[in-house]
Amino acid sequence: MRMWGIDPKILCRKHLLGEHVEMHMFVGCINKGTSLKGYINNNLVEVHNIKNRHDKLVDEMDRRGMSHNSPLPNFNGWEEGKINVKDNFINLLNRCDECLKRFKNGKN
């Protein structure tokens, strides 16, 4: 699981929907009392930013005509974390040709 933090307009469908699911998975872990320490220590999530990120992903899903029927459950995030958006951007564009195409075609 990871929070990319990249402008959702750049994300291909697979990464957009994948990150959306992962925001729900993070909240599920938090609500079950499962520690996200490993994700936080590896700069994969900003717990304090999950709700905001989820909302940005949903806005982009709506913009693309996708339906969204999964409101984010309430949660109390107790840890913060910090992702490196620049590193994530480079990583994503190196691993996903579709995201790279969206970036080059100005979908952002």
Dump pLDDT digits (tens) for 70-79: 999 988 866 7
- Is residue 93 pLDDT above 80, yes or no? yes
Dump pLDDT digits (tens) for 15-73: 999 999 999 999 999 999 998 999 999 999 999 999 999 999 999 999 999 999 999 99
Residue 80's pLDDT band (boundaries 50, 70, 90)?
A: confident
Q: Which secondary structure element, helix H or strand E, spans residue 60, and what is its range?
A: helix 50-63
Query: 85-95 and 97-104 helices cross at what angle (nearest 10)?
Result: 110
The phi and psi torsions of 37 (rounded to 5 degrees) equal: -55, -45
DSSP-derived secondary structure letter, 90: H
